[in-house]
Amino acid sequence: MSLRGKAAIVGFYEIPTQKEYPDRTTFGVMAEVARGAIKDAGLRKEDIDGLINGEGVNSITVAEALGIQPDYTASMTTHGSSGATSIATAAAVIAAGLANYVLCVFGEARPRSSSRMVGQAQAKGMLPPASRATEWELPYGPVIAMNGWYGLIKQRHMFEYGTTQEQFAKLVVDQRFNAAANENAVWYGQPVTEEDVLNSRFTNDPLHLLESVMPCSGAHAVIVTSAERARSLPNDPAYILGVGGPATTHDVIWQKDDITTTPVVSSAPTALNMAEISINDVDMAQFYDCYSILTMACLEDAGVSKKGEIGPFYESTDTTYKGDFPINTDGGQIGAGQTGGVGGGFRHVVEGTRQVMGRAGLRQASKSDICLVNG
Amino acid sequence: MTESNANVSLKPEPRPEVPDLTMPFWDAAKRHELIVPRCTPCNAFFWYPREACPTCLRSDSWDWAKVSGNARLHTFTIVRQPLHPGFQEEVPYAFAVVQLDEGVRMMSNIVDCDVIEDIQIDMKLEVKFDDISDEWTLVKFKPA
Ligand SMILES: [Zn+2]
């Protein structure tokens, strides 16, 4: 069964992504965006009969906190891609008749120091449970956060394809330009130059600080329903034409055969085939961007450029919201911030919806009928 | 130095999730021997060690095999901000994916060289055992 056109996003809401929401709670910000998205869709809370969230908090706990009694509920556990995966799952759930109005909600409000507490806890002897990582990774001194793993991929991409630091920097410059026009972005009004990127310190060579996301607090939500129901609601629906993935063979990067090739190499063709379009029909892309290298490798694997040629593509293409092929028009995670609770990837869903609905305001791209989103 | 300060400088030793399964590897490393799992019917090495061979999913089909210790550098990153504060004194150092000549890839460090100047992807490596304590020896690599 194809999901083509069976479901649509009919409402969205987000709060600004900030370094922290010191006086808020995760369930508080989730409630705020859930309320906003339900209202935006022209629905009442009582209409919501499906609930999907990210990993870390169980969806039943979220349902309890929000006072929702869903017929269908699930937590997505595909790490950063959980946000995009929630839309594929919601479309399938609706097509199967398991629920009529699915709320997808992602977010987190936490003190900014919480990720650092992992290292502090280890230093104090409060160790995490023994795992594959405590045996095969930690004794060799991995880098803080995910920086190390993406440094490994970037190094290999530069080796295999000759991708340059300037080409990576161009992605950051374009996305920070977009973020500068997004009042919900953590870097709102703060564009950067290529020199700024290249002169920022190496978190770990060859990865610069400005090529990396900043972990933030915030929240985003959308409502998904059937195409039929969508037509009687106030917003122009953003139809879900095709989905693919999660398509992965590994959890850690050192278990992957070809580390510069991403799962998008199979998920994008699946999604495009279902949509009955080719990559040439796509007007814009909202692609997961925890680090510049991941976005660039994924864009190659989706066919936006040939494999290994994403560097020259960025060099010759304006990817801002004003450009020929806009990418991450809200600034992406690099420009707008990485919402906790695996909400970072969900921002791409929200911005894709905003653009397709024609509600992106100042950042509205000239052509935005078909948007390819990668979580 | 207070006790908590002393702990901060301690690097994490390996902590096996299933010691019965993987201690043969660590015992061999203490003898300065490198062994990895090899499945007989599949005729394939695999890494990391796990109960069932990831190719045929059988638990009784593999054994430990001694390997050459020769390898190539698949990729690496230079660490400046370690996850664990115990490594802070060693920065910058190389955190690397190493591909053994037998085909499997493992995380390790590249040592005995200038990590900024001397390391390149695809360079030939050989195993270098690092006795970090009386109990544990880490499998590291150096330029061949
Ligand atoms: Zn086997």
Q: Is residue B144 part of a domain?
A: yes
- Determine contact: B86 vs chain A, CB below 8 A: yes
Residue of A nearest to B47 (CA): A255
**What is the distance in angstroms between the Cα of A261 and the nearest Cα belonging to chain B?**
14
- Residue B4 inside a domain? The answer is no
Q: For position B139, which CATH number holds?
A: 2.40.50.840
Kindly identify which residue of chain A lies nearest to residue B132, measuring between CA atoms.
A139
Residue B60 domain-assigned (yes or no): yes
The per-residue pLDDT for range A279-291, each reduced to its tens digit, is: 999 999 999 999 9
DSSP state string for B31-78: TT--EEEEETTTTEE-SS--SS-TTT--SSSEEEEE---EEEEEEEEE
Count of alpha carbons within 13 angstroms of residue A338, beta-carbon side: 21
Q: How close A200 comes to chain B (CA, Å)?
A: 14
Give yes or no: residues B54 and B112 share one domain: no
Are B116 and B95 members of one domain? yes
| Final residue in a domain of this structure, among B66, B91, B106 | B66
Q: Which residue is it, tokens 């609601």?
A: A233
Q: What residue of A is the nearest CA neighbor of B74?
A: A156
Nearest to residue A155, comparing CAs of A265, A287, A293? A293
- Residue B49 vs residues A45, A128, A135, A143, B67: alpha-carbon distances, Å: 49, 20, 11, 23, 14
Q: Closest Cα of chain B to A259: distance in Å?
A: 9
Amino acid B138: pLDDT: 98
Q: How far apart are CA A331 and CA A249, in angstroms?
A: 29
Q: What is the pLDDT of residue A22?
A: 87
Q: Does B58 touch chain A (CB under 8 A)?
A: no
With a CB cutoff of 8 Å and minimum separation 6, the contacts of B91 are: B79, B80, B81, B82
Mutate to test the interface with A, among B17, B18, B30, B79 (most CBs of A within 10 A): B79
Structure confidence by residue, pLDDT tens digits, A82-97: 999 999 999 999 999 9
Check CB contact under 8 Å for B12 and A124: no
Are residues B32 and B80 both part of a single domain? no
Shared-domain flag, residues B84 and B143: yes
Contacts of B11 in chain A (CB under 8 A): 139, 141
The pLDDT value recorded for residue A105 is 97
**Is residue B7 domain-resident?**
no
Residues of A in CB contact (< 8 Å) with B are 118-119, 122-125, 127, 129-132, 134-145, 147-148, 151-153, 155-156, 159, 201-207, 253-255, 259
Same domain? For B82 and B142 the reply is yes
Q: Given an 8 Å threshold on Cβ–Cβ distance, is B75 in contact with A259?
A: yes
3-state secondary structure chain A: CCCCCCEEEEEEEEEEEECCCCCCCHHHHHHHHHHHHHHHCCCCHHHCCEEEECCCCCHHHHHHHHCCCCCEEEECCCHHHHHHHHHHHHHHHHHCCCCCEEEEEEEECCCHHHHHHHHHHHHCCCCCCCCHHHHHCHHHCCECCCHHHHHHHHHHHHHHHCCCHHHHHHHHHHHHHHHHCCCCCCCCCCCCCHHHHHHCCEEEECEEHHHECCEEEEEEEEEEEEHHHHCCCCCCCEEECCCCCCCCCCCCHHHCCCCCCCCHHHHHHHHHHHHCCCHHHCCEEEECCCEHHHHHHHHHHHCCCCCCCHHHHHHHCCCCCCCCCCECCCCHHHHHCEECCCCCCHHHHHHHHHHHHCCCHHHCCCCCCCEEEEC
- By Cβ distance, the residue of B83, B106, B109 closest to A143 is B83
pLDDT tens for chain A, residues 1 to 375: 799 999 999 999 999 999 999 889 899 999 999 999 999 999 999 999 999 999 889 999 999 999 999 999 999 998 889 999 999 999 999 999 999 999 999 999 976 555 555 556 655 666 778 988 999 999 999 998 889 999 999 999 999 999 999 999 999 999 999 999 999 999 999 999 999 999 999 999 999 999 999 999 999 999 999 999 999 999 999 999 999 987 777 778 888 889 999 999 999 999 999 999 999 999 999 999 999 999 999 999 999 999 999 999 999 999 999 999 999 999 999 999 999 988 999 999 999 999 999 999 999 999 999 999 998
Residue B8 domain-assigned (yes or no): no
**Judgement on whether residues B74 and B142 belong to the same structural domain of the protein:** yes
Q: Are residues B62 and B78 in the same domain?
A: no
Q: How far is B68 from chain A (nearest CA, A)?
A: 20
Question: How many domains are contained in chain B?
Answer: 2
User: In this structure, is residue B6 part of a structural domain?
Assistant: no
CA of B41 to the centre of ligand 1 (A): 6
Same domain (yes/no): B86, B141: yes
> Is B9 inside a domain boundary?
no
pLDDT value, residue B1: 37
Backbone angles phi, psi at A314, to 5 degrees: -65, -40
Query: In this structure, are B47 and B115 located in the same domain?
Result: no
Nearest residue, CB atoms, A124 vs list B4, B80, B81: B4
Asked if B144 and B80 sit in the same domain, the reply is yes
Question: Does residue B119 lie in a domain region?
Answer: yes
Taken in order of first residue, the domains within chain A and their CATH numbers are 7-109+218-374 (3.40.47.10)
Residue stretches of chain B with pLDDT short of 70: 1-9
Would the ipTM clear 0.95, i.e. be above it? no
Residues B54 and B83 in one domain: no
Domain extent, residue B49, equals 16-66
Boundary (domain end) residue, out of B39, B66, B93: B66
User: Using CA atoms, how far apart are residues A181 and A167, in angstroms rounded to an integer?
Assistant: 22
Of B29, B47, B66, which residue sits at a domain end?
A: B66
d(CA B98, CA A240): 42
Looking at the fold, whether B38 and B59 belong to one and the same domain comes out as yes
**Residue of chain B nearest A137, judged by CA positions:** B107
Q: Establish if B65 touches chain A: CB-CB under 8 angstroms.
A: no
The per-residue pLDDT for B5 is: 45
Percent of chain B residues topping a pLDDT of 90: 89
What's the CA gap between A291 and A171, in Å, rounded? Answer: 10
pLDDT given at position B6: 46
